[in-house]
Structure 1
Amino acid sequence: MKKIFSLIIFIAYGLAALGQSDPTTKKLLSDISKKYQSYRTAKINFGLKAVNQQNQTTINEKGELTIEPRTSKYRILLENQVMISDGKQQWNVLKDEQEVQINHVEEAQSGSITPATIFSFYNQGFKYPAAKSEQVAGKSLSVIDLTPTDNNKSYFKVRLRLDKSLNQIYDVTVFDKSGSLYTYTIQNFTPNVKVTPKTFIFDKADYPGMELVDLR
């Protein structure tokens, strides 16, 4: 899982000129981003499916994200990993390795996609065609294939599916150049939940015996 999450995080707020992109799709994405940014906080339960097509292996995991969209503060809980950010620093708690990696947010999130950013990553650095429609489990979805404008990215495409009835992201699939697929599926979204300041602060006392590795 360590490799998966080093591959998938970046934050991009504010719409940029993407070029060669469908204006109707651009408005659709902009409206969803504005709706997300309007929330004071949000709690998201999500599923992660990682498929390695080379060796035919699949990893399924469930997680929980608590986030302040306007400040970029978040806490991600997984079975063997916790990621905490106060908006400036990020603490990556690796339980199996008994290690906590500390990094600046910009360095930790450069060039990747995570649960903390799936509501905003598409605002910059992509081009996309008109959205297509798809029916999944009785839901009507808009399907958008985003292509990064930077060819040096480790992925060549990101598929974003939107729930038309909720005007909300249904899932995001990252197509890695290695042939692996990473899919985040939103299972439950609760806006404006109550949080305490401690939610977004790393407390060493909560992880006794773990080695602190400062990568800043």
Structure 2
Amino acid sequence: MRKTAFKMQKIIRILSLFILTIGLSVHAQDSQKAKKMLDEVSVKIKSYNNVVIDFKYSMSNPKKNLNQESKGNVAQQGNKYVLNFMGVTRIFDGKKVYNIVPEDEEITISTYDDKKDDGLTPSKMFSFFNTGYKYAIDIVQNVKGRKIQYIKLTPIDVKDDVKDVLIGIDSQTKHIYTLIQTAKDGTKTTFTINSFKTNQPLSKNHFTFTESKYPNYYINKLD
């Protein structure tokens, strides 16, 4: 379970960067075009009651003979979310984080603490993102008739393992289309949105963990 949780924590951190970039603001020294685009994305996303996203994930590094692909989905409303990815479900109800691993029939429950590195919520990711990167306008690509404008992020800390991050924004819809993170060791992690739905009829208990649904699971309460 520890190995699975560690792997999920690392991937979810990247995924949160991908999905939760939508609320970030840009510092004064960044290009005005980058600021304008990110502000437009932020305003558009904040106008929705909720978002439901299906995405594709890939990680590759030819030198390490690494090539992984997977799909997942996430529903987000405010700072609450339900993430299904690589066989694991992660629920954050605003107070507690629930990691559900069917393969191990185990559930880990912990209270959210914004001072911990593994405390992943929109507010935490916005803070981390805003203070850790420099921004610049990058290339424009035509993807199936869609104009995708990329914004390049470079870590301020030279010791960071990340070389750079490219965020692709659909110029028409003002939605995040893709995120490409390149590590200094050459590992490239890509998240691409396949489906982006807004204001879905989610039940009032959608972001609530129900223990009775997992009668045979071992529940590990960390606090």
Shared topology, TM-score over 0.5?
A: yes
Matched residue, 2:181 = 174
1:151 shift after superposition: 4.4
Distance 1:39 1:17 in 2: 21
For structure 1, the 5+ residue unaligned runs are none
CA gap of 1:47–1:13, structure 2 versus 1, over 3 A, is closer
Alignment of structure 1 residues 135-214 onto 2, 5 Å: 135-151=142-158, 153-214=160-221
CA gap of 1:19–1:34, structure 2 versus 1, over 3 A, is same
Q: Does 1:6 align with 2:9?
A: yes
1:22 shift after superposition: 0.9
For the 8 Å contact 1:13–1:124, the answer to whether it is kept is: no
Task: Specify the SS of the correspondent of 2:37.
Answer: helix
Instruction: Tell me the alpha carbon deviations over residues 150-187 of structure 1, each in whole angstroms, 9 at most, x when there is no partner.
Output: 44544232110111122211101122344322211111
Distance 1:3 1:33 in 2: 30
Q: Is 201-210 or 5-14 further displaced after alignment?
A: 5-14
Distance 2:129 2:117 in 1: 19
Count of residue pairs brought into register by the alignment:
210
Greater relative CO (CA pairs within 8 A, separation 6+): 1
CA gap of 1:44–1:152, structure 2 versus 1, over 3 A, is same
CA gap of 1:89–1:178, structure 2 versus 1, over 3 A, is farther
Q: Does 1:41 align with 2:44?
A: no
For structure 2, the 5+ residue unaligned runs are none
TM-score by length of 1: 0.82
Q: Does 1:62 align with 2:71?
A: yes
Greater helix share, structure number: 2
Distance 1:56 1:132 in 2: 28
Q: Does 1:98 align with 2:105?
A: yes
Alignment of structure 1 residues 66-145 onto 2, 5 Å: 66-68=75-77, 71-103=78-110, 104=112, 106=114, 107=116, 109-110=118-119, 124-125=130-131, 126-145=133-152
Instruction: Tell me the alpha carbon deviations over residues 80-130 of structure 1, each in whole angstroms, 9 at most, x when there is no partner.
Output: 1101111222111122233222231633645x7x9x79x968961221112
For the 8 Å contact 2:22–2:176, the answer to whether it is kept is: no
Identity of paired residues, percent? 24
Distance 1:145 1:12 in 2: 13
Instruction: Tell me the alpha carbon deviations over residues 29-49 of structure 1, each in whole angstroms, 9 at most, x when there is no partner.
Output: 011011111110111111111
1:16 shift after superposition: 5.1
